[in-house]
Amino acid sequence: MIILGSMLALMTLPVKAQKWEGLADTPQMGWSTWNKFQGNISEDVIKGIADAMVESGLRDAGYTYINIDDCWHGKRDANGFITADPKKFPNGMKTLADYVHSKGLKLGIYSDAGTATCAGEPGSLGHEYQDALQYARWGVDYLKYDWCNTTNVNPQCAYQLISDALRAAGRPIFLSMCEWGSSRPWKWARQIGHSWRTTPDIWCDFDSLRVFEAGYSQFGVMQCIAYNDTLRQYAGKGYWNDPDMLEVGNGMTENEDRAHFTMWCMMASPLILGNDLRNMSEATRNIIMNKEMIAIDQDTLGVQGLHYCDRDGLQFWFKPLAGGDWAFTILNPTRQDITCCLNWQDFNLTDREVSKLSTDFATKVYKVYNLWTHKQEGKTTLKNKVDRKLVVKSRDVVSYRLINGK
């Protein structure tokens, strides 16, 4: 009898839950408060950004999530449920989520696996199921889960716990893991989260570290690329490397912004905008709205681009695409414009690590379509000779879609 009883108890143990599937077939696209506003956020800001997302055409270009980062919190109520700051969000999160949904968009929120968030707001440690339930009740669609104040917390357990909690809360919620790559989540988090940060925080600079006295640094665009570059074998449909949110429109030059955006697309990175969408220049809009470039990021093959080689100061990147096309980008990270003599036969490569696909420039001819001028520029040639000379501007890119077999 006792044995039967314990067998029954075992049989009713819950099966270990897995993350919500089908939320990240391509890298997530949206906007977040943090890069531009930090803690200066409110219901009005979020609503204004949601309106701008629709009016600017960004929603129709694929940007879906409106994410509230740190500093939205009020206190926990008498039962331990988290509330929103009543001054910043006087009508509460549910009303805000309804508004965002009415615009055809989704709402994201932010918490932390530790005792407090990075800005000192209440963390989720010890409240994981309750917080997940609260977000689900509010109608939240996305959770960024940070890693400050986590002394003695095991990362794998903490992220599994919140993933299980989100699953149990019953509403499909995207889980964006943000532990900065410290415990190599790409090795263990495929079943747990939909994306994981691979870098420390980005800052709005093309190529430098911003070192803080407290002992941590922020990364420029090039530093983020260098970290993320080495991890392509770990990303794919449903789980993406995240080199942090975009700084386009926040103060870099137009060519730096273009290079930043292009490289995020080449690396199949999440495209989370970080500028003030209510007030942006035509140049910024043209960059973040480049649908042909977005299509490189969102390509259904789901392969992160390959940093194939460096030559004369330039970086050469290839990304295999569905249907046999390739995206090809020459990145010039230097302070000088560089002339490049392009011989396609220098780039007969096979992506052995991930897709197993080959460019086959010796036997295949591709149409060469310029992703920034939106013009076709001839075709690749089978001959072993310099096919074209091009100038790659300082801190800029030349980026082509190589269209297969036509």
- The answer to the question of residue 145 lying near ligand GLA (CB under 6 A) is no
**Shortest distance, CB of residue 174 to ligand GLA, whole angstroms?**
15
Stretch that binds ligand GLA, among 112-120, 262-270, 288-296, 357-365 (CB under 6 A): 112-120
92-102 and 128-138 are packed helices; what angle lies between their axes, rounded to 10 degrees?
50
Q: Which of 141, 146, 244, 297 is catalytic?
A: 146
Q: Which of 112, 131, 164, 201 is catalytic?
A: 201
**Shortest distance, CB of residue 6 to ligand GLA, whole angstroms?**
45
Name which of residues 235 to 254 contact ligand GLA (CB under 6 A): none
Name which of residues 22 to 51 contact ligand GLA (CB under 6 A): 34
Q: How far is CA 209 from CA 56, 193, 205, 212, 218, in A?
A: 33, 28, 9, 10, 6
Kindly tell me which of 210 and 285 has the beta carbon lying closer to ligand GLA: 210
* Residue tagged 């331990």 (tokens): 80
CA distance 89 to 97: 11
Report residue 16: phi and psi, to 5°.
-60, 125
**E strand map for 204-275:** 209-211, 217-219, 240-242, 271-273
**Shortest distance, CB of residue 118 to ligand GLA, whole angstroms?**
3
Q: Is 60 a known active-site residue?
A: no
Name which of residues 305 to 344 contact ligand GLA (CB under 6 A): none
Stretch that binds ligand GLA, among 115-123, 182-190, 231-239, 358-366 (CB under 6 A): 115-123
**Shortest distance, CB of residue 237 to ligand GLA, whole angstroms?**
24
User: Residue 368: which H helix or E strand, with range?
Assistant: strand 366-370
| CA Rg value for the chain | 23
* Residue tagged 């010039």 (tokens): 332
- The answer to the question of residue 178 lying near ligand GLA (CB under 6 A) is yes
Check residue 270 and report its DSSP letter.
-
**E strand map for 293-346:** 306-311, 314-320, 326-332, 338-342
**x-or-dash string of contact with ligand GLA, 189-208, rule CB under 6 A:** ------------x-------
- The answer to the question of residue 69 lying near ligand GLA (CB under 6 A) is yes
- The answer to the question of residue 146 lying near ligand GLA (CB under 6 A) is yes
Strand-pair category, 396-404 with 326-332: antiparallel
Residues near ligand GLA (CB under 6 A), total = 9
- The answer to the question of residue 119 lying near ligand GLA (CB under 6 A) is yes
Task: Say whether 231 sits in a helix, a strand or coil.
Answer: coil
- The answer to the question of residue 141 lying near ligand GLA (CB under 6 A) is no
Q: How far is CA 197 from CA 119, 228, 240, in A?
A: 18, 9, 9
**Shortest distance, CB of residue 378 to ligand GLA, whole angstroms?**
43
Q: Is 146 a known active-site residue?
A: yes
**Shortest distance, CB of residue 114 to ligand GLA, whole angstroms?**
11
Stretch that binds ligand GLA, among 117-125, 133-141, 151-159, 276-284 (CB under 6 A): 117-125
Kindly tell me which of 54 and 209 has the beta carbon lying closer to ligand GLA: 209
- The answer to the question of residue 177 lying near ligand GLA (CB under 6 A) is no
Report the alpha-carbon angle 52-57-58, nearest 5: 75
Contact 320, 301 (CB under 8 A): yes
Note the residues at the interface with ligand GLA (CB under 6 A): 34, 69-70, 117-119, 146, 178, 201
